[in-house]
């Protein structure tokens, strides 16, 4: 009999690791501290289905192929063609339909290679000027949740910018029902494969009966492993979820080039997540250094004022939150994803999630790291079994 593999954490990374292991026929035990699986993929219950941050998929990597092959991203939602006319860019306090000329010029330079060891703002300012450099960084803060994205590695930010806003955008995918639908499918698949799932089970000591995959945030992993080196750089943003009665004046997507905020309508492509006649929006605003959360939320409401006129009188659902270190690792100048905490911690212990040494952005890092850890852990059990026989 094969040695079982233990997975600690039942979010996107933990479920990915458990499924990948179980598909090889290796027994898996998964422990989740909360009463439900999903981690940051969990959502509020209907009729208003809101998530902890933007939850979309980019269909241009192995992470998406793995999800698609298993039907986890089936049933996609698509925006109406009219939605494109409700895209806006906030500059100098006003909304405009097209980005500034400097940003358009930068978007077309996809062949440029940015350096790892220089901050993005300095690199971009040398090419397009200080103002455009700031606007580019603020535009891609939708991915970083960072108020000063320009301080990060130029190579890191430029890659994100080209993927999300470059001329060859890979295509964003929305699953109808949101990430909760994907999580539910993954949980069902894990059950079919015989994964032993125990919720409401907080693990405080590492199991000793086989490989262990730790799929928690770095803070929890640091405590569990007693390893103070497990730290990373992440974003910090204020979030606002709003459902309002639908109005033609509302903008569907707003990139805030002034303050790095972002506004998006999720019912634009998925009318199942709010009652008929309502629109569900999520807005985010990075929290500045030494700024209070109240101040960040006030700036966020001003963005809402611009994007959703008279929203206060039309609101049917309202939720505020903050997201700190929840958007994947951010690479500072002189570092790449390879410099983040290693997946293989030695002694058959593996660390996965969105802050570790794996490529991608946000949830992609979780999936890619989980697949790497699962392959390594299964190899250990296979080797152990071979040695016993």
Tell me how far apart the alpha carbons of residues 152 and 175 are, in angstroms, rounded to a whole number: 31
* Exposure letters 145-173 (e unless 16+ CB within 10 A, then b): bbbbbbbbbbbbbbbbbbbbbbeeeeeeb
Question: In sequence order, what are the residues at sequence separation of 6 or more whose Cβ sits closer than 8 angstroms to the Cβ of residue 295?
Answer: none
Q: What is the pLDDT of residue 82?
A: 60
Tell me how far apart the alpha carbons of residues 151 and 174 are, in angstroms, rounded to a whole number: 30
Q: What is the pLDDT of residue 209?
A: 85
For 76-175+236-324, the fitting CATH number among 3.90.660.50, 3.40.50.300, 3.40.50.9100, 1.10.10.10 is: 3.90.660.50
CA distances from 106 to 116, 127, 169, 254, 370 (A): 18, 9, 14, 19, 34
Tell me how far apart the alpha carbons of residues 37 and 33 are, in angstroms, rounded to a whole number: 9
Q: Which two tokens stand for residue 246?
A: 């639908």
Q: Which two tokens stand for residue 11?
A: 């979010």
Cβ-based burial of 292 (10 A; exposed 0-12, middle 13-18, buried ≥19): exposed
CB 36 within 8 A of CB 42: yes
CB 59 within 8 A of CB 50: no
* pLDDT tens, the chain, 389 aa long: 677 999 999 999 999 999 999 999 999 999 999 999 999 889 999 999 998 766 789 888 899 999 999 999 999 998 876 655 589 999 999 999 999 999 999 998 888 999 999 999 999 999 999 999 999 999 999 999 999 999 999 999 999 999 888 876 557 899 999 889 999 999 999 999 999 999 999 999 998 889 999 999 999 999 999 999 999 888 999 999 999 999 999 999 999 999 999 999 999 999 999 999 999 999 999 999 999 999 999 999 999 999 999 999 999 999 999 988 877 899 999 999 999 999 999 999 999 999 999 999 888 999 999 999 999 999 998 777 666 65
β-bridge pairing 196-199 and 28-32: parallel
Q: What is the pLDDT of residue 3?
A: 79
Q: What is the pLDDT of residue 61?
A: 86
CATH top-level class of 5-43+179-231+336-388: alpha beta
What are the strands of the beta sheet with 5-8, ordered from one edge?
A: 196-199, 28-32, 5-8, 212-214, 349-351, 344-346
- The three-class DSSP label of residue 281 is strand
CB 361 within 8 A of CB 163: yes
Q: What is the pLDDT of residue 112?
A: 93
Tell me how far apart the alpha carbons of residues 80 and 176 are, in angstroms, rounded to a whole number: 14
What are the strands of the beta sheet with 76-77, ordered from one edge?
A: 57-58, 172-175, 76-77
H-only helix segments in the chain: 12-22, 62-69, 101-107, 120-128, 130-139, 141-144, 154-165, 179-192, 218-225, 293-307, 311-314, 363-388
**Is the fold of 5-43+179-231+336-388 the same as that of 76-175+236-324?**
no
CB 369 within 8 A of CB 20: no
Radius of gyration of the CA atoms of the chain, in A: 21
- The three-class DSSP label of residue 268 is coil
Domain residue ranges in the chain: 5-43+179-231+336-388, 76-175+236-324
CB 137 within 8 A of CB 168: no
């Amino acid at each position: 009999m094969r040695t079982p593999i233990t997975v600690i954490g039942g979010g996107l990374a933990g479920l990915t690791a458990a499924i990948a292991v179980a598909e090889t026929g290796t027994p898996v035990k998964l422990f989740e501290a909360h009463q439900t699986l999903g981690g940051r993929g969990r959502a509020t219950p209907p009729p208003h289905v809101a998530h902890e941050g933007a939850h979309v998929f980019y269909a241009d990597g192995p992470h998406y192929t793995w999800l698609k092959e298993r039907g986890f991203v089936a049933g996609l939602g698509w925006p109406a063609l009219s939605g494109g006319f409700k895209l806006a860019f906030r500059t100098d306090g006003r909304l405009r339909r097209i980005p500034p000329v400097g940003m358009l010029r930068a978007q077309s330079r996809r062949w440029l290679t940015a350096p790892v060891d220089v901050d993005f703002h300095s690199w971009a300012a040398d090419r397009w000027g200080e103002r455009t450099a700031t606007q580019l960084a603020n535009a891609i803060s939708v991915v970083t949740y960072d108020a000063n994205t320009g301080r990060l590695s130029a190579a890191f930010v430029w890659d994100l910018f080209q993927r999300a806003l470059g001329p060859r955008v890979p295509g964003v995918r929305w699953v109808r029902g949101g990430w909760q639908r994907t999580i539910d499918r993954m949980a069902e698949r894990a059950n079919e494969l015989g994964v032993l799932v125990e919720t409401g089970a907080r693990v405080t000591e590492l199991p000793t009966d086989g490989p262990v995959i730790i799929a928690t945030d770095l803070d929890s992993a640091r405590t569990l492993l007693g390893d103070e080196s497990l730290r990373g750089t992440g974003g910090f943003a204020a979030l606002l979820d709003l459902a309002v009665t639908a109005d033609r004046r509302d903008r569907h997507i707003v990139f805030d080039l002034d303050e790095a905020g972002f506004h998006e309508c999720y019912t634009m492509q998925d009318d199942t997540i709010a009652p008929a006649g309502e629109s569900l929006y999520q807005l985010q605003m990075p929290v500045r250094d030494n700024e209070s959360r109240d101040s960040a939320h006030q700036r966020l409401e001003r963005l809402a004022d611009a994007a959703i006129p008279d929203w206060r009188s039309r609101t049917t659902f309202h939720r505020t939150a903050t997201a700190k270190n929840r958007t994947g690792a951010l690479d500072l100048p002189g570092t790449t994803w390879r410099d983040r905490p290693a997946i293989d911690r030695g002694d058959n212990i593996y660390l996965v999630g969105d802050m570790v040494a794996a490529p991608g952005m946000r949830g992609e890092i979780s999936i890619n790291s989980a697949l790497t850890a699962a392959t390594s852990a299964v190899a250990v059990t296979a080797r152990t079994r071979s040695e016993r026989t």
